[in-house]
Amino acid sequence: MTDRRLAESVRVVGSGLLGTSIGLALTKRGVDVVLDDASPSARRLAIDYGAGRAPAPGDAPGLIVVAVPPDVIARVVAAELAAYPDALVTDVASVKRAPLDELVAAGADVSRYIGSHPMAGRERGGAVSARADLFVGRPWIIAGHDGISYRRAAALEDLILDLGATPIEMDVEAHDASVALVSHAPQLIASLLATRLTGGSDEALAIAGQGLRDTTRIAASDPVLWGQILSANADAIAAVLRPLRDDLDAVIGALADIDAPGARRTLVEAVAEGNVGVGRLPGKHGHSGRYTTLTIKIDDRPGQIGRLLTEIGEEGVNMEDLRLEHSPEAEVGFAEIAVVPEAAGRLADALTARGWTIMEAER
Amino acid sequence: MTDRRLAESVRVVGSGLLGTSIGLALTKRGVDVVLDDASPSARRLAIDYGAGRAPAPGDAPGLIVVAVPPDVIARVVAAELAAYPDALVTDVASVKRAPLDELVAAGADVSRYIGSHPMAGRERGGAVSARADLFVGRPWIIAGHDGISYRRAAALEDLILDLGATPIEMDVEAHDASVALVSHAPQLIASLLATRLTGGSDEALAIAGQGLRDTTRIAASDPVLWGQILSANADAIAAVLRPLRDDLDAVIGALADIDAPGARRTLVEAVAEGNVGVGRLPGKHGHSGRYTTLTIKIDDRPGQIGRLLTEIGEEGVNMEDLRLEHSPEAEVGFAEIAVVPEAAGRLADALTARGWTIMEAER
């Protein structure tokens, strides 16, 4: 009974990228979506995009999704819990312990609150960037806690599945420690590394290669949003960065006195430890040895990469990953294609027969 | 006269990835390449690959390329200068000041030595990975110094152009500072960040996204080779890492006392400064605003990306960059395609008409 009503009416508070995307996806599925926002004009814009309808007297949502900036999450969730005493309330912020602690401290009814975190988003936010399929194929963490029953939380899992995402359960501490490690600390490190480039010479920047570009790509992220995220997960991020700082001190010490006993070993071991760490990353881009990479030379003109990938498709081989590499002014580039090891040899032969130049087979 | 002889006979010392690739490319162009290596079996292997011939009495190379590990560069260059008193000698190591200093200190005739550094290479080394076109389209730095005349060094520029690379002139200090900034410091930072993953939980690693993968990709590099590179450029790398460490200290301090005055501002400014730095990167992967990115939804099955890129080619649009993004187990992924801004709107319309889903137009 409760579950049926949840599917029939969902209230979304916050009409930014995530809230509007949720509204679009649920509306498409025939769900009655009520959209609200502290800003009436933002709400009207999201409604214009088709993400739901304005609130009306008598609304009785079974599920409420709070998609507001991190620094107001707890306040808005508490207000929703109070205003809709029968609804299950979730939020989609990227930190989970602080809002729960605030709610408990404020005496909110957390037996109806369970935080969550879709691992989706784009570099640009706002309703204008929203898409009904934003969550398709993405992990969506359900951050459980002791104050809510498993049965009560099931409606959230249904929502996640309805949106095409993959639910992953984690308690709030594990969630915050995990995102500190895989998202928040990397963001800060990329930003600090990219900051070095502000003082670099033009000639130095001109010889920058793919390694630096990859290492600093996420440094282009929004400072205000990230300021809120980092502040809300400060302890967990500091716990990741402190040992990194200690290692960095050791490396700088080794570099400063490179002929001292152990200095070179410190550097070699720093790189070797990094090998171990990156080797633990699962999946497509990981260096886990699951895929074999073929590097193929391509001309830098329209259609070449398309022709290459079409021919790979004609050979019946599924490309697990692709990376393009070329200098800005060069007339040739390289496509690095990851395939399952069983297919690599046959594909290399077939492409060579079709006239492609295979640079090297790695791993 | 001198220049003609240079083109006729080149001696390559060291038969690893770079030496063998140079030998292959020059042999293809009809140059008499003499290959040497401290290891007779390594030399034989490179000769088997067609990278040149064994040394013989009476060899009179005009140009000698030393392509040995960084820690023996100066010793080998000095020996070559002494053994061939008419030859111009270059090396291809990724640091340039230390070998020059060593040569000057040893009394070598540096009026015939000029270091260089091809910005090329692969994650795997050795003659087995060598390719005649390894240098095509890559920057190749000529690291000038006061002890050699411009005219004498011209033969090196000819070699670089013959190999298809783009010569870039920089003095040794500028070279070492530049590669410290854009290559060596990023390598260490990526390694130190990846090292954090050694202690991460499996569930944390399971939610790792593209940002972490990009930020840590180069952490998979060879520790022994990098130990030599980092040791040889220690001062310049330390000069990049010290201010980074100071910034990291400030960030950790802010995280440790997040409610202190100025703490949140420290975090926001760290990310904002990173925006400025990454914005200075030129070219294809940079965030310089030169290209517009279209994000297109793709099914994860053979041929889809090929079909997409073929159709982009059919529309006459040159793709400046491409990035694939998808979760390991997801059935859909996203192709991010960078094109010149003038073409973006038309291409988005054309692809939509062909049935593709465009997620968002960025920048």
Listed by start position, the domains of chain A span: 2-170, 177-279, 292-362
Q: Which residues pair with A176 in a beta bridge?
A: none
- Cα dihedral A135/A137/B220/B46 (nearest 10): -130
* Phi, then psi, of B202 in degrees rounded to 5: -60, -35
pLDDT number for residue B133 = 87
Q: Does B354 touch chain A (CB under 8 A)?
A: no
**B261-264 long-range contacts, CB within 8 A, separation 24+:** B263/A231, B264/A227, B264/A231
Judged by a CB distance cut-off of 8 A, whether residue B290 touches chain A is: no
Distances (CA, A) of B349 to B220, B262, B287, B340, B346: 40, 47, 24, 15, 5
Query: Quick check: A214 and B215 CB within 8 A?
Result: yes
Structure tokens at B323: 């990035």
Q: Which helix (H) or strand (E) holds B226?
A: helix B223-232
Smallest Cα distance from B120 to chain A, Å:
9
CATH topology of domain A2-170: Rossmann fold (3.40.50)
Which A residues, 56 through 95, put their C-beta within 8 Å of a C-beta on chain B?
Answer: none
Q: What is the maximum alpha-carbon separation in chain B?
A: 77
**Which residues have C-beta within 8 Å of that of residue B309, sequence separation ≥ 6?**
A303, A305, A306, A309, A310, B319, B322
CA distance B80 to B311: 54
Q: Which of A139, A214, A267 sits opposite B218 (nearest CB)?
A: A214
> Which structure tokens are listed for B114?
């000029």
A192 touches chain B (CB under 8 A): yes
pLDDT at residue number B26: 95
Most confident region among A280-289, A292-301, B44-53, B243-252 by mean pLDDT: B243-252
Q: Work out the minimum CA distance from B190 to partner chain A, whole angstroms.
A: 7
* B292-362: CATH number: 3.30.70.260
**Which residues in chain B are contacts of A325 at CB distance < 8 A?**
none
Residue with tokens 């492409």: A351
Q: Note the pLDDT of residue B249.
A: 98
CATH code, residues A177-279: 1.10.3660.10
DSSP labels, B129-160: G--TTTTTT-EEEEEE-TTS-HHHHHHHHHHH
Cα gap A121→A104, rounded to integer Å:
28
CA distance A334 to A339: 16
Q: Say which residue the tokens 């000095």 belong to.
A: B78
Q: Percentage of residues in chain B with pLDDT exceeding 70? A: 90
Q: Is B181 on the interface with A (CB under 8 A)?
A: yes
Q: Which homologous superfamily does the CATH classification assign to the domain defined by B177-274?
A: 6-phosphogluconate dehydrogenase C-terminal like domain (1.10.3660.10)
State in Å, rounded, how far the first CA of chain A is from the last one: 55
Task: Please provide the distance, in angstroms rounded to a whole number, between the alpha carbons at the two ends of chain B.
Answer: 54
With a cut of 60, say whether residue B123 has pLDDT above it. no
CA dihedral B141, B145, B149, B150 (to 10 degrees): 30
Length of chain A: 363
Contact of A302 with chain B, judged by CB distance below 8 Å, is answered with: yes
Check CB contact of B204 with chain A, cutoff 8 Å. Answer: yes
Q: Determine the pLDDT at residue B7.
A: 54
| Pair of tokens at residue A97 | 């312990």
Cα gap A122→A130, rounded to integer Å: 9
CATH topology for B2-171 is Rossmann fold (3.40.50)
- pLDDT tens digits for range B342-352: 888 888 889 98
pLDDT (0 to 100) of residue A319: 76
User: Quick one: DSSP state of residue A359?
Assistant: E
Residues B216-237: tens digit of each pLDDT: 999 998 898 899 999 999 999 9
CB-based contacts of B21, cutoff 8 Å, min separation 6: B51, B130, B131, B132, B134, B135
CB distance B245 to A259 below 8 Å = no
**Per-residue model confidence as pLDDT tens for chain A (363 residues):** 344 444 579 999 999 999 999 999 999 999 999 999 999 999 999 999 899 999 999 999 999 999 998 889 999 999 999 999 999 999 999 999 999 999 999 999 999 999 999 988 665 677 888 888 889 888 899 999 999 987 888 899 999 999 999 999 999 999 999 999 999 999 999 999 999 999 999 999 989 888 899 999 999 988 988 999 999 999 999 999 999 999 999 999 999 999 999 999 999 999 999 999 999 987 644 334 467 778 888 876 667 777 887 888 788 887 777 777 655 445 567 788 888 778 888 888 899 899 888 875 433
Query: How far off is chain A from B217, nearest CA to CA, in Å?
Result: 7
